[in-house]
Chains A and B, each alone.
Chain A
Amino acid sequence: MKKHVVLNVNGEEHDIEIEPNRLLLHALRDDIGLTGTKEGCSIGVCGACSVTVDGRLVSSCLTLAIACQGKEITTIEGLAKDGRLHPLQQAFLEYGGFQCGICTPGQIMAAKALLDGNPNPSEEEVKEWMSGNLCRCTGYYKILESVMAVVQNKVRTEDLLPRERIEARIQSLDVYKAEARTHGSKSHG
């Protein structure tokens, strides 16, 4: 029997009709359309499906969606704010903290949960905490480096995402100028 459930994800409420045994992972991906959260092992070992619920890190492949009603769920899609990357996202980009990218949303969510609770973890604490998130590409060195870069305030985040930069530019552009530029200047006047 499907039930009506309201999930608050990244500050937005979603009304969905789901079976009571629907996993949070599948509710996020298939019912709400937030596919940034990934399924890796389906048994809560690899961490690819990591999200936070009321600030606590959970494996969404082991969490019932229905149990998350009235709670604040944050996924990777909720990290960039006002067109700017979260410092962890920026760090993973600059320090090469990913390769194939499939475990990356989970890695970043796990790191965020750690730093939200403890902004100054030691390298050993980061290693211990992040050991719940498997990565087969990087050997973890650059993930560790990325997280430590944030801990050490080495990451700047004032840059807008390219998409947002383009948005900003469009709004400041004279439409006719843009038209002229597109079609070339001399031959088309």
Chain B
Amino acid sequence: MAEAEKFSVVGHRVTRVEGYEKVTGEARYVGDLQLPGMLIGRILRSPYPHARILNIDTSKAEKLRGVKAVVTAEDTVKRPWGAFFADQYPLSVGKVRYVGEEVAAVAALDPDVAEEALNLIEVEYEELPAVFDAEEAMQEGAPLVHEGKARNIAMTIDVERGSVERAFAESDVIVEDTFESIPQWHCAIETIGSVADYAPNGKYTIHMNTQTLFSARMRVAAALGVRETDVRIIQAAVGGGFGGKSCDDNNPIVAAILARKARKPVKVINSREEEFLAGSRPRVNMKTWIRMGFKKDGQIRAKHLRIIADNGAYSGKAPAITGVAALRHDTCYKYSDVKTQAYLVYTNKIPTGAFRGFGNPSAEWAVEQAIDEAAHELGIDPLEIARVNAVEPGYVSPHGNRVTSCELKQCIDMAEKMMDWKQKRAAKKPKTGLGLACTVHVSGKRHFGDYDGSSATIKINEDGKALILSGEGEVGQGAATALCQIAAEELGIPMEDVEFSQADTDLTTFCLGAFGSRLTYVAGNAVKDAAAKAKQQILEMASEMLEASPDDLMVEGGKVYVKGAEAKAVTVADVARARLFRRSGAPIVASGSFDADSVLPDETRYGNESGAYNFACQAAEVEVDTETGQVKVLKYVAASDCGTVINPIGAEGQVEGSVAQGLGYALIEGLRMEEGRPINPNFSDYRLPSMRDMPALAHAFAKSYEPTGPFGAKGLGELGMDPTAAVISNAIFDAVGVRVRTLPITPEKVLKALTEKGKS
């Protein structure tokens, strides 16, 4: 890659900074931790989707030998908490609203005693009528999940820009359809877990596998009724997040409540079944009615969306996710007249929440299929309709999103080439088809308060090594490695001389954590700022040592040189020691920060939500077996614009993993529920893609440079799974002329659609 030549570390294939620990089995995950006197905690969960709690009797459980604490809502401050709406309690107060909700908990000497104690807790319930479908829940007279929430509506979005009425009148072709998406579980191979400790000074220390430490601290403190600094969160190695470990669940809070009552450290690790019932909050499922108008040449003229989003029993991040589904795609193509009505609706099911894509995959499942329908109706190549509408640098969406760098057209070109799109279309084989879709994603998002920033501290140790102190953490995606590369590049020291601290809310400044594809861009800019400031201190000290102006010095490979007189040099270690070991000595240490040039959207949801936008185009070739309905993906291509690629190994891994999750979402995943009760909450019945399920994959990164990004980089983590389900469905339509409108696209549904098509 040409860009890599400009940099000594950025753009190079660098192995993981935490790699040795991970390949030797020595990385410490939360389940591996042991503290002196540590107890095992277990949670009693509601067996009912909706019921009043009449009485809880814990006396028998308390008497069981080996039980050290039994807790219910009576042991809490009964203060509701939540990311956007405070609507859930750590332990049920008066009512349960979904199967799996936390009712009581025990801490005991070992897991067997804890399980036995759960069986001894007697809870008297009065079952209440429940509602499981969001559309039904919106009807007058439906059971109310939360008192005071009329028609169970948690939030409404109603936005119109321009005039869709006029724009539809000016359209040559109008398509209208309805699509349904499903809740998808993260299925990180590691479940959510915590080890909580409660010190005599009243401070909680919680070792967690969270991806958002400071948000976790804020929410845990609110739920416990204490100040933020009364809670210290330390991140253990995280065994996969994908949004599911962004602290919307009660696991750490229950662990803390148990630790307080037992006066001992308590470990609470979700079983796999608990993870499905009440652990990581699955993707918000949506039913989307869409109407779009186009000009003859394929230009989008109007779009009207009506989304009903299933919130489940509590809100978590679903309000923000519904907002993304409603508006984000208007930054992918050139839109002028759009209308969106979205309703987030409570039901008596597991709360839904953040999963890679954050509303985008559900929305694109509808929008990118509607556009494909229009292409077929207009007789335009779907690739050309994407090209006609693709946004370019300088575009401002109807909702105020300002696009700086954008290589979507380049991505379309690359996808076309990698797929041999034209040749394959010209020589179309029966039962084989091509499909594509495009997407846009943010690089951080301004929605958790008016802040879309990050901060980091870099200290240069006496041996010349740099340590990045950051609270952003590492969840497995490779952020630590990318941030070390950025620091090494800026400082002019070798990669092996940069370390990344464990994330710890007591030792680092406030960081929002891993979500919204924000770390490379937002945290990368903060780390780069800290590195630049530390480097300035190095140069100033070295200028004394080398008797040269700081402007005449350069740092490379861990040495400070006088430009043009390279023999005159000192090492960064010499500089760090010289600055420290003298009268008025001081360490080389600098804090950096960055806040993206984004705008907190106003009450009409207008405002540039992110500092930079990333884009992708993906395409698939599928073969459909018309006897069985089986869909085989023959080839998949993904072209991504994430600006400068900081670490090609990491970037490729993000795209590959996203596509795998996207294919799972499209074709096989989904939890079956009956009356709010999951019937397959395990890995043998909830199928995940395995190695043999993966198709041939080609991918490429656009030549792109984001002017506001660190060394030109922007986000990537979620981009790869946004369009995948629509890509597959579009390809199936091209192959056999049927469209399955509900996820996942199972062979049964394909076969049914083929049979219906045969009849008509």
The interface-forming segment of B15-23, B310-318, B627-635 is: B15-23
A139 interface contact, C-beta 8 A: yes
In the complex, which residue of chain B has the Cβ closest to the Cβ of A144? Answer: B691
Question: Which residues in chain A, 94-127, are within 8 Å of chain B measured between CB atoms?
Answer: 94-96, 98-105, 108, 126-127
> B223-247, CB under 8 A of A: which get 1 and which 0?
0000000000000011111100000
Contact of B240 with A141 in the complex, beta carbons under 8 Å: no
- Known A100-B239, A100-B476; contact A136-B25, beta-carbon cutoff 8 A: no
Partner of B691, one of A34, A99, A131: A131
A138 to B124, CA, bound (A): 46
In the complex, which residue of chain B has the Cβ closest to the Cβ of A21? Answer: B112
Question: Which residues in chain A, 17-32, are within 8 Å of chain B measured between CB atoms?
Answer: 29
Kindly list chain A residues whose C-beta atoms are within 8 Å of the C-beta of B456.
none
A136 to B28, CA, bound (A): 19
- Known A40-B683, A93-B16, A102-B188; contact A138-B22, beta-carbon cutoff 8 A: no
A162 to B28, CA, bound (A): 18
Partner of B237, one of A93, A101, A183, A184: A101
Question: Which residues in chain B, 697-753, are within 8 Å of chain A measured between CB atoms?
Answer: 697
A163 to B237, CA, bound (A): 20
> B185-199, CB under 8 A of A: which get 1 and which 0?
011111000000000
B31 interface contact, C-beta 8 A: yes
A112 to B16, CA, bound (A): 22
Count of chain A residues with a beta carbon within 8 Å of a chain B beta carbon: 62
Contact of B23 with A136 in the complex, beta carbons under 8 Å: no
Partner of A137, one of B18, B240, B580, B684: B240
A102 to B661, CA, bound (A): 17
Kindly list chain A residues whose C-beta atoms are within 8 Å of the C-beta of B187.
136
In the complex, which residue of chain B has the Cβ closest to the Cβ of A39? Answer: B31
> A76-101, CB under 8 A of B: which get 1 and which 0?
11011000010001101111101111
The interface-forming segment of B252-260, B536-544, B611-619, B645-653 is: B645-653
A134 to B382, CA, bound (A): 35
Contact of B271 with A42 in the complex, beta carbons under 8 Å: yes
Kindly list chain B residues whose C-beta atoms are within 8 Å of the C-beta of A104.
22-23, 25
A133 to B690, CA, bound (A): 7
A40 to B77, CA, bound (A): 34
B581 interface contact, C-beta 8 A: yes
B478 interface contact, C-beta 8 A: yes
CB A139 to nearest CB in B, in angstroms, measures: 3
Contact of B29 with A141 in the complex, beta carbons under 8 Å: no
B32 interface contact, C-beta 8 A: yes
In the complex, which residue of chain B has the Cβ closest to the Cβ of A101? Answer: B22
- Known A136-B240, A139-B656; contact A131-B692, beta-carbon cutoff 8 A: yes
Kindly list chain B residues whose C-beta atoms are within 8 Å of the C-beta of A142.
649, 652-653, 656
- Interface on chain A toward B: helix, strand, loop, or mixed SS? loop
The interface-forming segment of A1-9, A43-51, A64-72, A166-174 is: A43-51
Contact of B682 with A103 in the complex, beta carbons under 8 Å: no
In the complex, which residue of chain A has the Cβ closest to the Cβ of B477? Answer: A99
- Known A93-B19, A98-B23; contact A136-B237, beta-carbon cutoff 8 A: no
CB A182 to nearest CB in B, in angstroms, measures: 8
Kindly list chain B residues whose C-beta atoms are within 8 Å of the C-beta of A98.
16, 19, 22-23
A80 to B25, CA, bound (A): 10
Kindly list chain B residues whose C-beta atoms are within 8 Å of the C-beta of A52.
none
In the complex, which residue of chain A has the Cβ closest to the Cβ of B273? Answer: A42
- Known A93-B16, A187-B582; contact A103-B189, beta-carbon cutoff 8 A: yes
Kindly list chain B residues whose C-beta atoms are within 8 Å of the C-beta of A39.
31
Contact of A41 with B581 in the complex, beta carbons under 8 Å: no
Contact of B657 with A137 in the complex, beta carbons under 8 Å: yes
Partner of B694, one of A102, A133, A140: A140
In the complex, which residue of chain A has the Cβ closest to the Cβ of B27? Answer: A101
In the complex, which residue of chain B has the Cβ closest to the Cβ of A134? Answer: B688
A73 interface contact, C-beta 8 A: no
Partner of B272, one of A40, A92, A183, A184: A40
Kindly list chain B residues whose C-beta atoms are within 8 Å of the C-beta of A102.
29, 188-190, 239-240, 476
B344 interface contact, C-beta 8 A: no
In the complex, which residue of chain B has the Cβ closest to the Cβ of A161? Answer: B20
Contact of A136 with B24 in the complex, beta carbons under 8 Å: no
Contact of A143 with B582 in the complex, beta carbons under 8 Å: no
CB A145 to nearest CB in B, in angstroms, measures: 10
CB A105 to nearest CB in B, in angstroms, measures: 4
Kindly list chain B residues whose C-beta atoms are within 8 Å of the C-beta of A60.
none
Kindly list chain A residues whose C-beta atoms are within 8 Å of the C-beta of B689.
139-140
Contact of A134 with B690 in the complex, beta carbons under 8 Å: yes
B577 interface contact, C-beta 8 A: yes
A155 interface contact, C-beta 8 A: no
- Known A77-B25, A139-B694; contact A100-B188, beta-carbon cutoff 8 A: yes
A35 interface contact, C-beta 8 A: yes
> B259-272, CB under 8 A of A: which get 1 and which 0?
00000000000011
In the complex, which residue of chain B has the Cβ closest to the Cβ of A183? Answer: B581
A93 to B580, CA, bound (A): 37
In the complex, which residue of chain B has the Cβ closest to the Cβ of A105? Answer: B25
In the complex, which residue of chain B has the Cβ closest to the Cβ of A92? Answer: B23
Partner of B657, one of A76, A99, A187: A99
Kindly list chain A residues whose C-beta atoms are within 8 Å of the C-beta of B693.
131
Partner of B683, one of A43, A79, A92, A137: A43
A85 to B649, CA, bound (A): 20
CB B14 to nearest CB in A, in angstroms, measures: 10
A133 to B475, CA, bound (A): 20
Contact of B272 with A38 in the complex, beta carbons under 8 Å: no
Contact of A38 with B652 in the complex, beta carbons under 8 Å: no
Partner of A138, one of B24, B578, B653, B688: B653
Kindly list chain B residues whose C-beta atoms are within 8 Å of the C-beta of A99.
240, 476-478, 653, 657
Contact of B692 with A127 in the complex, beta carbons under 8 Å: yes
- Known A39-B31, A77-B24; contact A184-B577, beta-carbon cutoff 8 A: yes
Contact of B691 with A76 in the complex, beta carbons under 8 Å: no
B26 interface contact, C-beta 8 A: yes
- Known A37-B25, A101-B476; contact A139-B659, beta-carbon cutoff 8 A: yes
- Known A38-B29, A41-B272, A41-B683; contact A134-B189, beta-carbon cutoff 8 A: yes
Contact of A45 with B656 in the complex, beta carbons under 8 Å: no
CB A132 to nearest CB in B, in angstroms, measures: 8
A57 interface contact, C-beta 8 A: no
Contact of A38 with B23 in the complex, beta carbons under 8 Å: no
CB A64 to nearest CB in B, in angstroms, measures: 16
A162 to B588, CA, bound (A): 26
- Known A38-B239, A40-B272, A40-B683; contact A135-B23, beta-carbon cutoff 8 A: no
Question: Which residues in chain B, 579-633, are within 8 Å of chain A measured between CB atoms?
Answer: 580-582
Which of A93, A136, A182 has the most CB atoms of chain B within a 10 A radius of its CB?
A136
Kindly list chain B residues whose C-beta atoms are within 8 Å of the C-beta of A130.
691
Kindly list chain B residues whose C-beta atoms are within 8 Å of the C-beta of A35.
25, 28-29, 31-32
CB B112 to nearest CB in A, in angstroms, measures: 9
A55 interface contact, C-beta 8 A: no
A137 to B356, CA, bound (A): 11
Kindly list chain B residues whose C-beta atoms are within 8 Å of the C-beta of A143.
691
Kindly list chain B residues whose C-beta atoms are within 8 Å of the C-beta of A34.
25
Return the 4 tightest CB-CB contacts between A and B, nearest first.
Answer: A36-B25, A100-B476, A102-B239, A101-B22
22 A-B contacts (beta carbon < 8 Å): A35-B28, A35-B32, A38-B239, A40-B190, A40-B683, A42-B272, A43-B683, A96-B650, A96-B652, A98-B16, A101-B22, A104-B25, A105-B25, A128-B692, A132-B690, A133-B690, A134-B189, A134-B690, A140-B656, A142-B656, A161-B20, A184-B581
Given pairs A77-B24, A136-B189, A137-B476, 11 additional interface contacts (CB within 8 A): A99-B653, A102-B240, A131-B691, A134-B683, A136-B688, A137-B477, A139-B659, A140-B689, A141-B694, A182-B462, A184-B581
Chain B interface residues toward A at CB < 8 A: 15-16, 18-29, 31-32, 186-190, 237-242, 271-272, 462, 475-478, 577-578, 580-582, 649-650, 652-653, 656-661, 682-684, 688-694, 697
Chain A interface residues toward B at CB < 8 A: 29, 34-43, 45-46, 48, 75-77, 79-80, 85, 89-90, 92-96, 98-105, 108, 126-128, 130-144, 161-163, 182-184, 187-188
